[in-house]
Amino acid sequence: MWDASKCDLCGECLVRCPYVEYDKEKAAANIQALMDEKDAEILHRCVTCCACREYCPTGADPFDLILRAMEEKKTFPVPPDMAKIFDLAATVPASVSIGDSDKPALSLCIMEGNLPPGAVDGEMFKGMTIVKGGDYFCYVGYVHLGQESPVEKHARQFIDNLAGLGKDIVFLHDDCYAMVDAKIKDYGITAPFRYMHLYEYMRNYLRDHQSRITPLGKKVAYQRPCASRYTPAKDAFLDEIFQLIGVERVNRRYDRGEALCCTGAFIRVYPDLAREIQAKNIDDAVASGADALVTLCPMCDRVLRKPAAAKGLTKIYVTDLCRMALGELP
């Protein structure tokens, strides 16, 4: 949540933004205007990637400041059909497939339809309780409509619904993990259950089954989700996963803190910019010598399939990559 007392107007948040070209003076002027509750150019150029939150060296959370001002002033030109999709998400019928009593629940939010076929098959997920549907929709995707209030409004019910399962929760969707590990703290809510990100769960499983792993000996480029800006520390789990399965995460320009959005958040709003960013991202992955582009976010996976294929770059979902190393997939 925005904390003006931590902001020293250094401008770092917007100087590093990959979608605008601001110097320190212009960046600081934009933030100052927002602090004074005035309009600012960034409200009309923000693509809602959340990066400025991670770039802020003092933890002031400028993305929250920008997002709330965008919603108030309605500066993000959301297509009506795009907004309708988000509104319908909460109405998706909820489903709970009960698994083994000693295993955690795997939360899919509403993303199952965007996952590659078989993404949560295999021994790694066998016996887990699977929960999905509108009751377990985290609402964090609304930030990509330039809106914060729906996230805050529904946070308590989201947590209560998960708590009602009486299970430890593993989050596949990065947005859901961001909600529980970061955003609810802004709203004064605590999670009354144990939880972990998919990467921590997979890391633990691979550690416990190292004898089954055949190192893949491949190089991959990773597509880091925008929601990872809320929880960057979990990158360490992914690095260990890659080490365990014998995969090198190539050192490329657009990764980790400098990652680019898949553009799913703004491809309908700023199509020309989206095409430019997609090209930069895929070309960077190819130039780095990667054998494949690995995705976690179901939206990133869907949006980047065709652009990656067009450049001859194999697109692999992260769970499939691990199942290859475990001998479950070719």
Q: How far apart are CA 127 and CA 104, in angstroms?
A: 9
Half-sphere exposure of 298 (CA within 13 A, CB side): 19
pLDDT at 83 over 80: no
User: pLDDT of 133-155, one tens digit each?
Assistant: 999 999 999 999 999 999 999 99
pLDDT band of residue 89 (cuts 50, 70, 90) is: confident
Predicted confidence at residue 62, as pLDDT, reads: 98
Task: Give the pLDDT score at 214.
Answer: 98
| CA neighbor of 224 nearest in space, from 294, 286, 141, 306 | 294
As a whole number of angstroms, the distance between CA 311 and CA 306 comes to: 9
The pLDDT of residue 80: 80
Q: Cα–Cα distance between 261 and 307 in angstroms, integer?
A: 14
- CATH class, domain 201-325, is alpha beta
DSSP one-letter string for 215-276: ---EEEEEE--GGGGT-GGGHHHHHHHHHHTTEEE---SSSGGGPPP-STTTTTTSHHHHHH
What pLDDT shows up at residue 88? 87
pLDDT tens string 91-140: 999 999 999 999 999 999 999 988 999 999 999 999 999 999 999 999 99
Q: Round to whole Å and give the CA distance between 111 and 108.
A: 6
What are 253-272's pLDDT values in tens digits? 999 999 999 999 999 999 99
Domain ranges in the chain?
A: 4-73, 81-198, 201-325
Question: Region 293-311: what's the mean pLDDT?
Answer: 95
